[in-house]
Amino acid sequence: MISVNSFALRSNLKQWSRAAWPLAFLLWAGLAASADTLFLGGDPAGSESRVYKDGSTWVQEITGSLPAPREIKVVTEAGSVKVHGAAQSNLTYILRKRVRAGSEEDARRLFSNFRIQAWSQGDVALFRGQFDTSYGRRQASVDFDITTPRATAAINASTGGGGVAVNGIAGTVAVETGGGSIQLDEIGGPATASSGGGSIELGNMGGDVAVETGGGSIRVKSAGGRVAATSGGGSIEVISARRAVSAQTGGGSIRVQKCGAEVKVESGGGSLEVGEAGGEVIAETGGGSIRVWSAQGRVRAGSGGGSIHLTGLTHGVQVETGAGGIIAEFAGGASLTDSMLETSSGDVTVYLPANVGVTIRGAIESGSKNSVRSDFTELRVVSDSDQQWGPHEVLVEGKLNGGGPVLKLRTTTGNIVLLRAKN
């Protein structure tokens, strides 16, 4: 089977872990408190707040502003994080504490146990949401809604379980959530995103992207660089990527519509589809079908039991399936190299341009002379038995246009079909 290793997008975007955040914020909090810019147990300095009921929960809404930062860092134990880039000269924020309580008085008492921090440390804006864990994580959360100048150079955000959304930022983005969904759009620089199990959706991304989720779906609309996407079992779709794409899922389907370089896709059992690839294609699935429409490099494809259909081939191929038909269509002017197409149960069909130089070596383990169909009179069909009835090994061999790279075809019980490509 083919091993597909996703390439590493090495950057300095994600320089913290969940374990390191609390210690770092305690240090920052101490520095900020000494500068009299932060009130632990209350609201951030210079902010305003109001309390209201929203359905079954009570909300304390806190609004405030900070100087325009170069970088934003956010961490909350539970709750959503939203960061918007806008045409403004400073940073503004709305922080929402949420609790379930029987009365406003009870809610205010619970709100007093929160630690909401918002302050500036040099050119960095820092936010933290923390609450008394004895109340229960399921019953309390802190949501952050931040608007900052579009030119902000970096966004780092982490939440223990809410959704994360960032849009309209010119710089880099690194976000993570323990289980919520992630949405990024109109990001100018490289981006990383990680979710314990929620879906990830990326819009227009200007640089490299690296995303992973424990089981949700992943969708990338457009990436100006490379794409590395990993899901524990959800589907993955990449609409357009300027550079290489590497996608892996434990069992869902993968679809890559357009890529300017090589494509590597792997699924534990879902179907795989690649539209246009500007380089080599490597595709492997434990049991689904594989479809490649066009590739400007070699194609390697393997399935534990699905059909494989390849078109627009310009180089050699290595294809294997445990049980399914194989169709390979070579484009005119293809630069063939030694190739192999093999299935345990199914037909092998090959379309070849009229002027291609290739040496054919095909074998059917259990067939008859009628199991071979060819448009090429240069090829001869040989059987290892003189019996008219009963299955036996059948070979098809010969050279087209003087011969060339070897094209091996093999099936256990299906047919071999060799046809002239219409183009």
What is the model's pLDDT at position 114? Answer: 87
Per the structure, the complete domain to which residue 378 belongs is given by: 325-423
The candidate with the shortest Cα–Cα distance to 176, out of 152, 153, 200, is: 200
Per-residue confidence band for 383, with pLDDT thresholds at 50, 70 and 90 = confident
Question: Which is higher by pLDDT, 110 or 8?
Answer: 110
Same-domain check for residues 395 and 255: no
Enumerate the β-bridge partners of residue 246: 228, 264
Q: How confident is the model at residue 296 (pLDDT cuts 50, 70, 90)?
A: very high
340 inside domain = yes
Residues in the chain: 423
Q: Do residues 176 and 194 make contact, with C-beta atoms less than 8 angstroms apart?
A: yes
Per the CB < 8 A criterion, the answer to whether 350 and 328 are in contact is yes
Domain boundary among 178, 209, 224: 178
Residues 45 and 140 grouped into a single domain? yes
Residue 158 sits in the same domain as residue 41:
yes
The C-alpha atoms of residue 346 and residue 2 are separated, in whole angstroms, by 21
- Span 165-211, pLDDT tens digits: 999 999 999 999 999 999 999 999 999 999 999 999 999 999 999 99
Distances (CA, A) of 46 to 2, 93, 119, 138, 147: 59, 12, 10, 30, 17
pLDDT tens digits for range 60-87: 999 999 999 999 999 998 899 999 999 9
Residue 114 and residue 38 share a domain: yes
Whether 319 is covered by a domain: the verdict is: no
Q: How confident is the model at residue 34 (pLDDT cuts 50, 70, 90)?
A: very low
Among the candidates 134, 159, 178, a domain finishes at: 178
Residues 254, 235 contacting (CB under 8 angstroms): yes
3-class SS at 299? strand
Whether 316 is covered by a domain: the verdict is no
Indicate whether 199 and 300 sit together in one domain: yes
Q: Is residue 6 part of a domain?
A: no
- Do 60 and 193 sit in the same domain of this protein? no
Instruction: DSSP for 11-76, please give it.
Output: -SS----TTHHHHHHHHHHHHHHHTT---TTSPPTT-EEEEEEETTEEEEEEEEEEEPPSEEEEEE
How deeply is 20 buried, as exposed, middle or buried, from its count of CB atoms within 10 A (0-12, 13-18, 19+)? exposed
> So what's the pLDDT on residue 334?
81
Given pLDDT bands bounded at 50, 70 and 90, which one contains residue 18?
very low
Residue 329 lies in a domain: yes
Three-class SS state of 7: coil
Distance CA 127, CA 29 (A): 10
Phi-psi region of 422 (alpha: psi -120 to 50; beta: other; left: phi over 0): alpha
Residue type, 319: V
Q: 116-173 pLDDT, tens per residue?
A: 899 999 999 999 998 765 655 557 889 999 999 999 999 999 999 899 999 999 999 9
The number of folded domains in the chain is 3
Please check whether residues 172 and 209 belong to one and the same domain: no
Q: 18 and 164: one domain? A: yes
Same domain, 297 and 351: no
Question: Among residues 132, 153, 178, which one ends one of the domains?
Answer: 178
167 and 217 fall within a common domain:
no
Residue 3 lies in a domain: no
403 in the same domain as 299: no
Backbone angles phi, psi at 371, to 5 degrees: -80, -5
Pairing of strands 57-67, 90-99: antiparallel
Distance CA 150, CA 170 (A): 6
* Exposed/middle/buried for residue 414 (C-beta within 10 Å: 0-12, 13-18, 19+): buried
DSSP label of 111: H
DSSP string, 235-271: -EEEEEESS-EEEEESSS-EEEEEESS-EEEEESSS-
Q: Which residues of 56-70 are buried (b: 16+ CB within 10 A; e: fewer)?
A: ebbbbbbbbebebbe
In this structure, what token pair is assigned to residue 68?
Answer: 């325009």
Q: What is the pTM of this model?
A: 0.88
Distances (CA, A) of 72 to 67, 119, 151: 11, 10, 12
- 242 inside domain: yes
Is residue 320 domain-resident?
Answer: no
Q: Is residue 211 classed as helix, strand or coil in its secondary structure?
A: strand
Residue 423 has a pLDDT of 64
Are residues 86 and 165 part of one domain?
yes
What does the buried/exposed string (b/e) look like for 173-206 if buried means 16 or more CB atoms within 10 Å of the residue's CB?
bbbbbbbbbbbbbbbbbbbbbbbbbbbbbbbbbb
Report the pLDDT averaged over residues 225-231. 98
d(CA 62, CA 51): 9
Distance CA 151, CA 89 (A): 10
Name the nearest CA neighbour of 205 among 218, 219, 192, 186.
186
